[in-house]
């Protein structure tokens, strides 16, 4: 009997991680290798959608004759296995794919190419653009957004009747947009509110009950956001082996699961460094365990299965 099972995407691989009831690592199985950087993960019934860039951190092709910046369909099979299928979704607007989420037979996809957020129907059809740049508050807007990855939107999630989208925002403070989900389903970006100054180089935006959580990747911290006041609390992630770069956040029962790698200026460190998993107890406000998964590179996303 096991406590938790997760998929974790990394710069190198797609991993299936199984923990015992006591939270110890039982197994870490490689589900896919050779199509990284692997990034966004989304789940619907027995289907898992995986963003496979098939490009390394220098944007060199990893596997010839395989698509680049594709979202691959995997099937969960009896016995707990995961089968990579020939089915994939692609678009000229998909670039530097990051996180994805599923809603009503569609995927919302964050992309490094304008308009930065797309709605991809899973039963066929072209990706539909949502113009995020048009709803960003004026004081946060930048020039020439159509020709570059101006804000680096990297995370998206559903929160009730809203869609949350996070901007890394490069060397400026990260921010998140709360959009109308009903409008997004019709291909329109309508801003409800904006959460500013979340941290630096942030990833992940997730609602749990009445609270928002994000990862201050540049500051090695988990951030709690009060959506009514905008007030924030930071919880530092520490590891004696190095400086954590958290990327990958999910709810697992009554805990928050966070995947991370260790910051490295060297290419080899990011591609082949240790992948880590930790858990945060939001009631007692403490991290409970750090689990080393092996040398699979920096983590990108996490999905409970």
Quote the mean pLDDT of the chain.
Answer: 96
Domain that holds residue 13: 2-304
Do the beta carbons of residue 127 and residue 118 sit within 8 Å? yes
User: Measuring CA to CA, which residue among 50, 54, 48, 46 is closest to residue 9?
Assistant: 50
C-alpha distances in angstroms, 206 versus 32, 42, 224? 26, 13, 10
Q: What is the pLDDT of residues 269-282, one digit of tens each?
A: 889 999 999 999 99
Q: Convert the pLDDT of each residue in 164-183 to its tens digit.
A: 999 999 999 999 999 999 99
Per the rule left: phi > 0, alpha: psi between -120 and 50, beta: everything else, 79 is left
Q: Check: pTM over 0.95? Answer yes or no.
A: yes
- Number of domains composing the chain: 1
Read off the pLDDT of residues 221-275 as tens digits, 9 standing for 90 and up. 999 999 999 999 999 999 999 999 999 999 998 999 999 999 988 878 889 999 9
CATH code, 259 = 2.120.10.30
* The pLDDT of residue 217: 98
Residue 289: how many other CB atoms lie within 10 Å: 15
Question: CB of 54 within 8 A of CB of 85?
Answer: no
What does the alpha-carbon distance between residue 219 and residue 236 come to, in Å, rounded to a whole number? 8
Output DSSP code: residue 170.
T
């Amino acid at each position: 009997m096991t406590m938790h099972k997760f998929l974790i995407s990394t710069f190198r691989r797609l991993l299936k991680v199984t923990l015992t009831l006591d939270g110890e690592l039982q197994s870490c199985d490689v589900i896919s290798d050779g199509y990284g950087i692997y990034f966004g993960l989304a789940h619907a019934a027995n289907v898992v959608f995986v963003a496979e860039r098939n490009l390394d951190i220098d944007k060199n092709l990893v596997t010839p004759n395989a698509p680049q910046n594709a979202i691959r369909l995997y099937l969960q099979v009896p016995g707990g296995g995961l089968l990579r299928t020939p089915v994939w979704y692609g678009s000229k607007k998909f670039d530097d794919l990051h996180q994805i989420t599923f809603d009503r037979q569609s995927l919302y996809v964050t992309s490094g190419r304008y308009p930065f957020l797309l709605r991809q129907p899973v039963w066929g059809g072209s990706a539909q653009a949502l113009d995020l740049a048009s709803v960003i508050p004026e004081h946060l807007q930048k020039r020439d957004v159509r020709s570059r990855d101006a804000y680096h939107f990297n995370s998206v999630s559903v929160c009730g009747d809203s869609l949350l989208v996070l901007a890394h925002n490069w060397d400026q403070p990260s921010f998140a947009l709360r959009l109308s989900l009903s409008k997004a389903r019709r291909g329109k970006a309508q801003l409800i509110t904006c959460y500013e100054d979340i941290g630096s180089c942030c990833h992940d935006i997730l609602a749990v009950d009445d609270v928002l959580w994000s990862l201050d990747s540049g500051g090695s911290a988990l951030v709690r956001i009060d959506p009514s006041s905008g007030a924030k609390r930071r919880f530092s992630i520490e590891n004696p082996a190095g400086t954590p770069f958290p990327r990958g956040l999910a709810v697992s029962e009554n805990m928050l699961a966070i995947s991370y790698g260790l910051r490295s200026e060297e290419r080899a460190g990011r591609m082949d460094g240790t992948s880590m998993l930790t858990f945060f107890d939001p009631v007692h406000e403490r991290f409970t365990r750090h689990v080393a998964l092996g040398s699979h590179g920096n983590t990108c996303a996490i999905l409970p299965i």
